[in-house]
Amino acid sequence: MRAKLAVALALTIALATACNPESDNGDQSEAEGEGAGGQESIVVGLTVSHTGNLTAESTNQFNGLTLWAEQVNDDGGISVGNDNVTVELVEYDDESTDTRVQQLYTRLITEDEADFLISPYSSGLTEAAATVAEQNETVMLAVGAASDSIFQQGFTHVFQIYTPASRYLTGSVDLLQDRFPDDTRIAIVHEEDTFSTDVAEATRAYAEDQGLEVVLFEGYPTDTTDFGPVISRVMAANPQALLGGGHFQDGTTLVRQVAAQGLPIDLLSILVAPSVPEFAQLGDAAVGVVGPSQWEPQVAYSEEAADDADLEWFGPASEDVVSAYEERFGETPGYHAMGGYVSGLLLQHAIETAGSLSPDTVIETLEGLDAMSVWGGMKFSNEEGDHGRQIGHEMVQIQWQMVGGQLERQIVWPTEAQTTEYQALTQ
């Protein structure tokens, strides 16, 4: 009998220890009223994909956020009313999977006492995290999440930094109609995942609205390595433009094989891949390829442009951020990194304008925001079915061009932001 009791006791202790109950400080207390309420620093919590298939993009995004945090702390912190608070970043590895996202964000809120949250990278993970933010009434800035559907789920505490998927390729359609007004036939071929499918369907709807005929609309599995069959079907449909793609892997393969086959089209616009520096590794095949980008280093957003558009400007000038990033991380920032930077910048601006750390006041400020920064325009929808979706930011369309023997990314659309004219494909 005693032996059995002993075993029972041992088991309970062992299991309890294995589960290792966390001590925490209960639920987050609201910071009411003006000023920092006695706080000296704020905690900004997030998860980063240090392992798994989102590692590269997520790390870049986190680097951008880190740069902002370092800069703001060097400057003495965020001013909240009459006080200043420094920023502390707390992050965990979400392993590019949604399994632990909710646990980690709950930990950030209850154990690490995060005052504000940044989303993980990618829409799928952000959806899981947003639920935790919403139920704990903590403000979350969603960066790296382009899905429209997140903002149809009824969240009131989540705000989107990226242009949503529905407006990724609409600029390419506009570009086609502007440069080749007689073209009427486009083909759309997309990776079969949430993001690319959302973009593709919105692009099809937009194109048809604009009077174009979508002669082929098809998805391909994420792991497709050989686009021969797909390209055959494209050629059979005889389009004048090919839009779509998915992520870097399939995008570059598609482009490579399109170049090898010599598709006679006027425009080739592919998601994600062309805005990644490694795209240059394709050499000649990359020339002429267009892609949408949330942001490019040459983009001409500035305080003057904001004045012209009658918008408020916040944050440093584009050149300053780019050079600071280059100095800190040894490479030119892409839009993932800049998105991360801007999420911090926006948070700072919202807090400083609100003069308070209270979530409700900050939300009010964000809802009323209509401004411009290094990132471009920024404005959030206040509609109930849409709350927090980004409606002020536009994608730029970039094109790879051979400039003096060097492959370079140039901005070719919209005309207000372009650095050079679109070059027709030579095949």
Distance of alpha carbon 84 from alpha carbon 258, whole angstroms: 55
Residue 184 or 261: the one with the smaller Cβ distance to another protein is 261
Distance of alpha carbon 98 from alpha carbon 125, whole angstroms: 5
Region binding another protein by CB under 8 A among candidate stretches 102-110, 237-245, 357-365, 389-397: 102-110
Q: Which residues pair with 390 in a beta bridge?
A: 380
Residue 101 or 175: the one with the smaller Cβ distance to another protein is 101
**Does residue 382 interact with another protein by CB under 8 A?**
no
What is the chain's length? 427
Residue 249 or 302: the one with the smaller Cβ distance to another protein is 249
Region binding another protein by CB under 8 A among candidate stretches 16-24, 237-245, 300-308, 309-317: 16-24
Q: Is 86 exposed, middle or buried (0-12, 13-18, 19+ CB in 10 A)?
A: middle
Backbone CA torsion sign across 344, 345, 349, 355: positive
Task: Name which of residues 232 to 291 contact another protein (CB under 8 A).
Answer: 232-233, 235-236, 248-249, 252-253, 256-257, 260-261, 276, 278, 281-283
**Does residue 205 interact with another protein by CB under 8 A?**
no
Q: Are 203 and 195 in contact (CB under 8 A)?
A: no
Residue 98 or 370: the one with the smaller Cβ distance to another protein is 98
The two structure tokens encoding residue 168: 């990724």
User: Dihedral through CA 414, CA 418, CA 421, CA 427, nearest 10?
Assistant: -70
**Binding-site string for another protein from residue 125 to residue 164, where x marks contact by CB under 8 A and - marks none:** --xx-xx--xxx------------xx-xxxx---------
Least distance in angstroms from the C-beta of 8 to another protein: 5
Region binding another protein by CB under 8 A among candidate stretches 75-83, 218-226, 290-298, 404-412: 218-226
**Does residue 420 interact with another protein by CB under 8 A?**
no
What is the H or E stretch that residue 45 is in? strand 41-48
Q: Which of 80, 109, 337, 342 binds another protein (CB under 8 A)?
A: 109
Q: Which of 2, 20, 330, 426 binds another protein (CB under 8 A)?
A: 20
Region binding another protein by CB under 8 A among candidate stretches 68-76, 88-96, 206-214, 306-314: 88-96
* Tokens 């309970």 -> residue: 12
Q: Say if strands 370-373 and 396-403 run parallel, antiparallel, or are unpaired.
A: unpaired
Distance of alpha carbon 422 from alpha carbon 111, whole angstroms: 52
Count H helices and E strands in the chain, helices first.
Answer: 12, 16
Least distance in angstroms from the C-beta of 323 to another protein: 23
**Does residue 427 interact with another protein by CB under 8 A?**
no
